[in-house]
Each structure stands twice: as structure tokens, then as C-alpha cells.
Amino acid sequence: MIHELPKLPYELNALEPWISAKTLEFHWGKHHQTYVNNLNNLIKGTEFENLSLEEIVKKSSGGIFNNAAQTWNHTFYFEQFSANPKKIPEGKLKELIDKTFGSLDQFKTEFNQLALTLFGSGWTWLIETTPGTLAIKQTSNAETPFKNSEKCLLVIDVWEHAYYLDTQNARAKYIENFWNVLDFKVIEKRL
Amino acid sequence: MKFELPNLSYSYDALEPYIDARTMEIHHTKHHMAYTTNLNNALAELKDYPATMEEILSTISKYSMAVRNNGGGYFNHNLFWELLTAKSSKKPVGKLAEAIERDFGSFEAFREKFNTAAATRFGSGWAWLVSQNGKLVIGSTPNQDNPLMDISELKGNPVLALDVWEHAYYLKYQNRRPEYIEAFWNIINWEKANELYIKTL
Ligand SMILES: [Fe+2]
Ligand SMILES: [Fe+2]
């Protein structure tokens, strides 16, 4: 099956000034697209050719895994933004965040710290490890908690390409900006 | 003793148009500076450590990840800046030129192999030409690891180094890493590379 680049659920300039149109143009239009193209090329004639993206991520390794997981991770990342985001979680998500981290602010502080200190390229996630238990996790390069059947709730891409045009070396500034467009409505639905 | 951020022997705009001045300035004053500061902070927690980075790197498995990452970052960038010049001969010189012909068949074949190593390093890292007692080998390392580290899969003495972290090229080349790699061949300081090679013989 041919994998396709999902459309963004907003305009390229919708997240400005926090994430620029130029960054999205490259991040979604080039990086994400390239992962999708590479994946389609690599699986041709292999046992992965007719599998769903999720199955490929779980069963593959090497170049196929890198491109499949990056395709999945980026879709998951881009889906969670909005120009009019819900900034405070409610309901069950709020309960679990309060139970695990004490408060939303405390969660953000811990999450920001891990996003900031991930060395090299990678991702920082909020995951549900077992029903009702949240945790924050760093992964390198294309690695994704979803491969180990951990439920992903929220993610920040900290590859330099995610922020270099906007904030250059200042990753902390990008992480701070991220919360201004992160839509907790999307995260609540993932729980 | 503290490790210091070295000055560059050329101006930030010297490598234009291959590497732009803004990239050079941020790369040197922010990224390299941060590795230097973080390395010194990590070493400050230790009672004692060797005087040279080479000694630290050769036993890096005994140190924290902070020393490994920032020590690598400090050392690799020192080397990288020295291997660049505005006045490149554009082709290898001296004993290194001979060894490249001997070990890769031709400069073109060598270039192609190095380009592949640089282009296919997934995520952040470095591409290397190393000397293993005179024999030349091409490879790459992840993040700020380098071939002097005891934990490194690729071993040897660095002769040529190319930073393929996105911060090294993103402002000018964005996702087009191969264009940045191509540009690198115009600004290599082959005199310096030859000097590094001769020291390993
Ligand atoms: Fe990304
Ligand atoms: Fe660098």
C-alpha cells in the first residue's frame, strides 16, 4: 500500500508567531514528505509492502523503521496543534496529570526539562504506561514508545529542524512557544 | 584547569557562500561555547582528570554522559574549525593524497564514499576520515561521539571531520544535507588534514 502525507488540519501560517509558516513548510512539506517517500520506496517488494504504517513500525528495523516511525511520529506531532488551542486540560486527563505530577505546571516543568536535555535528535513524550499511569519519556532519533505498545498522548519534536529557523540554538524558547499552540482537546481524545 | 573556546583563524564570513556567516557565528559562539561551558561544569565535579582531551576521550567510558557529550562536542568542533579554510587547495596534498589514492583508488571514489557516510548518518552526528596506523578508513559516529573514544565503533585518529548535526547547515540548506556536504569540498584545509595524517604514521 502507498503511504501518504496527511494534510495539516490548519494553514501553514496558523501557528505564527510560535511556529512559523516557513518552519512548517520545511518540516511538514519537506522532512515529513521525505520520510513518507523514503518509506514507500524502501518497502517496495518487501514483506512490509502491504502492512499498515503501525504494523511496519512494530515489525521493522533499520531504514524502514526509521522512515516508518518518523512518518508516524510527525503525523502525531502535527495533529496536536491549533491556532485556538485549549490550553488547560479537563476531565480524566487533568485528573491523571494532577495525580502523577501534582499539577499542570509541575508536569510542564518536568516535560520541558526532558525536552531540553535530550542530547542530539529525538522526541519527548507524555505516555500512559499502564491504564491510569502517566510518564514522560525521551526517545532518540526515530524511536517511538508506540513500538513497545506504550500509549502516546503528547509529543514534542526536538530534532533541530523543528525549531532552527525560528529560534536557532535556543531550544528552550521553542519549547516555551510549543505550549501556546498545543491543543489539549486533541490530547484528551487520545487518552 | 579549564578548557577554553578557541578563536577561529578566519572571520565568520570567510567561508561564504559555502557556509554562511550567521551559521558560523551561531555555531561557534552558541553551540561550541555551550559544549565548552558544559564540559567544564561536568569536569568541575570530578576530583581529578587528565590535562588533555585526547586522554579523556580515550577512556571516556569511565566518565558521565555529560563529559562524553560535551567533551566530544568541544573536541570535535575544535577540529572541525581547523579543517576549514577559505583558501582550499580543493584536493588532497602530500602523503595524504598518496594514501587516499592507495586506499580508495581515486580521490573521486574517496569523495563518494565520504559523501555516503555523511548523508546516511541518521539523526545528529559526524562523518570521519580516520587513520588506523596509516590506513585510511571512512565512517560516522552518532551525536558528539568520535573515533578517539573507547566506546566508539569507528576507531582511529581523525584526519577529516564533517559536522552533520542539522545546526551545521539548517539556516542555509534546511533539509538539503547533500548540498551542504557538496559545499564542504570547497573549503577543506587539506594542509591541516595532511598534517593530522602524517602524525599518525
Ligand atoms: Fe521533525
Ligand atoms: Fe556542530
pLDDT digits (tens, 9 = 90+) for A47-62: 999 999 999 999 999 9
Tell me what pLDDT residue B139 has.
Answer: 98
Contact status of A7 with chain B (Cβ, < 8 Å): no
Tell me what pLDDT residue B1 has.
Answer: 65
Q: How far apart are CA B61 and CA A10, in angstroms?
A: 47
pLDDT, tens digit (0-9, with 9 covering 90-100), for A139-177: 999 999 999 889 999 999 999 999 999 999 999 999 999
Strand partners, B127: B140, B162
Largest CA distance in chain A: 50
Nearest one of A125, A127, A121, A117 to A163, comparing CA atoms:
A121
- Closest residue in A to B65 (Cα) is A119
Classify residue B25 as exposed, middle or buried by CB count within 10 Å of its CB (0-12, 13-18, 19+).
middle
Classify residue B87 as exposed, middle or buried by CB count within 10 Å of its CB (0-12, 13-18, 19+).
exposed
* Confidence category of residue B199, pLDDT binned at 50, 70, 90: very high
Q: Do A142 and B175 touch (CB under 8 A)?
A: no
Of B26, B34, B122, the CB nearest to A66: B122
Tell me what pLDDT residue A90 has.
Answer: 98
- Which chain B residues in 102-161 lie under 8 Å from chain A, judged by CB atoms? 122-125, 142-144
Number of H helices, E strands in chain A: 9, 3
**Which residues have a beta carbon within 5 Å of ligand 2, which is an ion?**
B 163, 165, 168
Of A31, A142, A169, the CB nearest to B30: A169
What is the mean predicted confidence (pLDDT) over B71-90?
98
Contact status of A141 with chain B (Cβ, < 8 Å): yes
What is the mean predicted confidence (pLDDT) over A12-18?
98
Answer yes or no: are the C-beta atoms of B150 and B49 closer than 8 Å: no
The ipTM, to two decimals, is 0.96
Give the CA distances from residue B172 to residues A165, B79, B166, in Å, rounded to whole numbers and listed in that order: 10, 22, 10
Q: State pTM to two decimals.
A: 0.97
Contact status of B90 with chain A (Cβ, < 8 Å): no
Tell me what pLDDT residue A1 has.
Answer: 84
Residues of B in contact with A141 (CB under 8 A): 122-123
What is the DSSP secondary-structure string of A143-177? --GGGGTPEEEEEEE-SGGGTHHHHTT-HHHHHHH
pLDDT, tens digit (0-9, with 9 covering 90-100), for B16-73: 999 999 999 999 999 999 999 999 999 999 999 999 999 999 999 999 999 999 999 9
Residues of A in contact with B24 (CB under 8 A): none
Tell me what pLDDT residue B135 has.
Answer: 98
Contact status of B69 with chain A (Cβ, < 8 Å): yes
Q: How far apart are CA B126 and CA B191, in angstroms?
A: 21
Contact status of A117 with chain B (Cβ, < 8 Å): no
Average pLDDT, chain B: 98
For ligand 2, the distance from its centroid to the CA atom of residue B167, given in whole angstroms, is: 6
Q: What is the DSSP letter of B5?
A: P
Please count the residues of chain B: 201
pLDDT, tens digit (0-9, with 9 covering 90-100), for A90-140: 999 999 999 999 999 999 999 999 999 999 999 999 999 999 999 999 999
Tell me what pLDDT residue A149 has.
Answer: 86
Written as one letter, the residue type at B141 is T
Tell me what pLDDT residue B63 has.
Answer: 97
Nearest one of A117, A119, A124, A115 to B68, comparing CA atoms:
A119
Q: Do B123 and A164 touch (CB under 8 A)?
A: no
Tell me what pLDDT residue A150 has.
Answer: 93
Contact status of A158 with chain B (Cβ, < 8 Å): no
Tell me what pLDDT residue B60 has.
Answer: 98
Buried b / exposed e over A34-57, threshold 16 CB at 10 Å, is ebbebbbebbeeeebeebebeebb
Classify residue A81 as exposed, middle or buried by CB count within 10 Å of its CB (0-12, 13-18, 19+).
buried
